[in-house]
Structure 1
């Protein structure tokens, strides 16, 4: 058991936490490995890096551990070029993580404990601070590679994944940005939001293609209490935010209760924020929760279409009991009447991490890919044993059963020079990391987008285990 100082909470029981054991068990070593073994054939045109972030506690967490909201960030990179592959992984080295490495143990408590170390342990500059957690996503924008946190400053990385430091965009965004910014492929702008415990509780802003702040943080009118929002979507006209009734309750937390409160009686609201700076349009429906959006676009009738994963409630983050139903859904939002029509596009049997061809962000898309469960074996939240592709035009699906492999979020890799006229069904590949539940071996798998149900056209053996994580991006080689 990890030693702690008096007053600090004890370490959690990692062996019995599904997100600290099994396919999620953290790794400690940072490695580099080249000339990896390939089964099948890596497409010779594929030239770039797939990089994925995820929670990977360096030391056993103290007091509590809430997946997917906490854990030290670790980025995993797979470089592919000329039919060959190499791999490396690196911790995102925050000052807090480095202090824990120097001490040889965890110093900060989990988010639900509220415990922070004092000056005697970490010095005056870090005493009483919350731990930085850039462990959710990764994006490259304005020439910078960024490891993203949940509404906090990201951390800049070098192209070889070494940590540069906290990024505030020249001091223009000191509160940080969201974990799921969206880059408009037409304009090159990156649109972000940030929520906070203090007013203004929700802001949005825009970074230009060069990484400079094009629109300073602007408050979203109509948000009068701190609310959790994980993802967003973008259309040519609107920033789309889904506000489920999940609120931060600091007073309850100080009394020993939960920091997060699920209040389904409030229903769920969707904010359509005009990108030209006009007044926000609100739509309202009965309560549901959404972690992730696939994409959104403007409909010919003036409405907005949003494809997303809908859950009946936020699972382990709410005190409700009973089954949690989740699946890929479509919302048709009328910005004039404020009404929402929702329906599931598939059987809602548990799926997450929806992705489209990023070149279609903000425009009508063809295929949505996401992880799903066969229901054959019991899997932890965030763990999947199949990949599903949904053709949104026909609403037909194709599934690849991964067998003993647990798979992560799929990511689209466009064919260099390929056209987007045929959407994301005829060009390119889908990639993800996968780990075998029987022998804990890990793989990088590649599917042909034209026929993904046929299974991987290439599997790259990674010489170390890659824990299941969260979100990633394909970064083509820059000329």
Structure 2
């Protein structure tokens, strides 16, 4: 008998795609939505239109959104991001900056909201999740746009980068507070690598040249075109803000991979501190259809003039999606939040999911356990009398649908402030954000 191929994890359980766009109004709420919350929570993720994809990261983008106003949950919507690829108008050129799936994150800056993926231009979306079109900054942006830009809370600038399998492999960009692209700097790399995120501090940007490298053979097979390399030297590139490529210096780190930087900042003596979700290894032989490696919270410290970072694990549990209060981006954060993943990011496996609050200043970690639930990433929302709130989607196995769960950020162990019951399942996805009303 021929061997039956198992369904890959990204098409199974609560990773499985949903096929209908729906709208629901006046959503039922357990607890009370804080009256101060007036805006939209929007989260992006991969949802292949035809029900199939070569990897979790390759499905068509779908944004799920919940509008909160006046203590009410006004509506829920889910909408595909209508890229040219989604509509069957893509060129077929893998380097086409308008040929993407726009499936990874949602970011708001200078009055615009972007749906992002790291191999294409930003796609703008409207207040009801409608697709408005690509943004190329008046024709000035000619590289991809990362899914993890950073907004400096002090200058209002948007810092981002683009990486490519073709030279230049890495370009760093800055848009000003008003959203105009004002700076682009090509930076040298020896080979094309997967660079999902980077770090911003008050005085520097830090890029991660890590040993997950482009592989043409994997690209031809239709999966993520990257694989682990034992010969690619892992290092961090430190660039002073405002400097040219000639000021870039490299710092060695242990072999490993990082998708997500929680935050970075500078100490009084100039030491750079980065808190990251660190994988000892990723995708040896290419991405697997049956597993996802586990990350743990690691701290990199780069002393002034050092050629190697000091590395310390801050916890041994498996976590992903580290987030902070983004008003502290580039500044000392003190507190960091992450999803406890167990066997892999949000795996639909027996057991209860959890959110971890790391009080790094006091060395104390606390958990919120979602009984019978599987959490996605939680975003921080400032406001109220304490640390603000944490907000994210949780799949309720018992109800067979999902909730938007709101927690008090300073007391994650407590019962949710509110659970907004959604009319359907929200599959496991990637990154979301709170977009307050203007």
TM-score, normalization by structure 2: 0.91
Using a 3 Å threshold, how does the CA distance of structure 1 residues 79 and 339 change in structure 2: closer, same or farther?
Answer: same
SS in 2 for 1:96: coil
- Deviations, residues 256-308 of structure 1 (Å, cap 9, x unaligned): 99832311343421111111214112100220111100000011121100001
Which of 161, 175, 178 is 1:193 aligned to?
161
The answer to whether the Cα contact below 8 Å between 2:318 and 2:342 also exists between their aligned partners in 1 is no
- SS state at 2:191 partner: coil
Q: Are 2:25 and 1:60 aligned?
A: no
Question: Unaligned 5+ residue runs, structure 2?
Answer: none
Distance change (3 Å), C-alpha of 1:128 and 1:340: closer
- 1:338 aligns to 2:307 (yes or no): yes
Q: Cα distance, 1:29 vs. partner? A: 1.6
Q: Which residue of 2 aligns with 1:292?
A: 260
**1:188 and 1:445 mapped to 2: Cα distance?**
29
User: What is the SS of the residue equivalent to 2:167?
Assistant: coil
Question: Equivalent residue for 1:96?
Answer: 85
Give yes or no for contact 1:387–1:400 (8 Å, CA) kept in 2: yes
Work out which of the residue numbers 5, 10, 30 in structure 2 matches 1:19.
10
Q: Is the 8 A contact 1:283 1:334 kept in 2?
A: no
1:370-409 to structure 2, matched below 5 A, reads 370-373=338-341, 379=347, 385-409=353-377
Residues 232-311 of structure 1 mapped to structure 2, 5 A cutoff: 232-250=198-216, 259-278=225-244, 279-311=247-279
Contact 1:272 1:335 in 2 (8 A): no
| Residues 1:33 and 1:288: Cα distance change in structure 2 (over 3 Å) | same
Structure 1 residue 251 displacement after superposition: 6.3
Cross-structure match for 1:36: 27
Structure 1 residues not aligned, in runs of 5+: 1-11, 100-121, 419-425
* Pairwise CA RMSD: 2.7
1:335 deviates by 4.3
Deviation at 1:27, TM superposition (A): 1.3
Name the CA shift for 1:378/1:164 in 2 (closer, same or farther; >3 Å).
Answer: closer
Please identify, of 159-168 and 317-326, the stretch whose mean Cα deviation from structure 2 is larger.
317-326
Q: Is the 8 A contact 1:293 1:306 kept in 2?
A: yes
Q: Deviations over 1:91-147 (max 9, x none)?
A: 100122112xxxxxxxxxxxxxxxxxxxxxx6xx73555641200001011211100
Distance 2:236 2:344 in 1: 35
Q: What is the 5 A alignment of 1:44-443? A: 44-61=35-52, 65-67=54-56, 69-85=57-73, 86-99=75-88, 126-128=91-93, 131-215=99-183, 217-221=184-188, 223-250=189-216, 259-278=225-244, 279-315=247-283, 318=286, 324-347=293-316, 349-373=317-341, 379=347, 385-415=353-383, 426-443=386-403
Q: In the alignment, is the contact (CA less than 8 A) between 1:23 and 1:440 conserved in 2?
A: no
Provide the C-alpha distance between the structure 2 equivalents of 1:254 and 1:294, rounded to a whole number of angstroms. 33
Q: Do 2:119 and 2:145's aligned partners in 1 also have CA atoms closer than 8 Å?
A: yes
Three-state SS of the structure 1 residue aligned to 2:86 is helix
8 Å CA contact 1:384–1:408 kept in 2: the answer is no
Cα deviation code 1:350-406 (max 9, x no counterpart): 21000000000000002111110367999359x981100101112210011112110
Which stretch has the larger CA shift, 316-325 or 360-369? 316-325
Kept in 1, the 8 Å contact 2:292–2:344? The answer is no
Once residues 257 and 60 of structure 1 are traced to their aligned partners in structure 2, the CA distance between those partners, rounded to angstroms, is 15
Return closer, same or farther for 1:374/1:304 CA change in 2, 3 Å cut-off: same
Task: Provide the rounded CA distance (Å) in 2 between the counterparts of 1:175 and 1:384.
Answer: 41
Report the number of matched residues.
Answer: 427
The structure with the greater share of residues assigned to strand is 2
Change (3 A) 1:52 1:248: same
Q: Offset at 1:436?
A: 1.6
SS at match of 1:23: helix
Deviations 1:167-187 (A, max 9, x none): 211111122210100000110
- Confirm or deny that 1:470 pairs with 2:430: yes
Distance 1:356 1:53 in 2: 18
CA distance in 1, matches of 2:406, 2:291: 37
Q: Is the 8 A contact 1:19 1:380 kept in 2?
A: no
Local SS of the residue matching 1:300 = coil
Task: Give the match's secondary structure for 2:309.
Answer: strand
Measured in 2, the distance between the counterparts of 1:375 and 1:293 equals 20
Task: Report the Cα offset of residue 214 of structure 1.
Answer: 1.4
TM (norm. structure 1) is 0.83
- 1: distance between equivalents of 2:406 and 2:400? 19
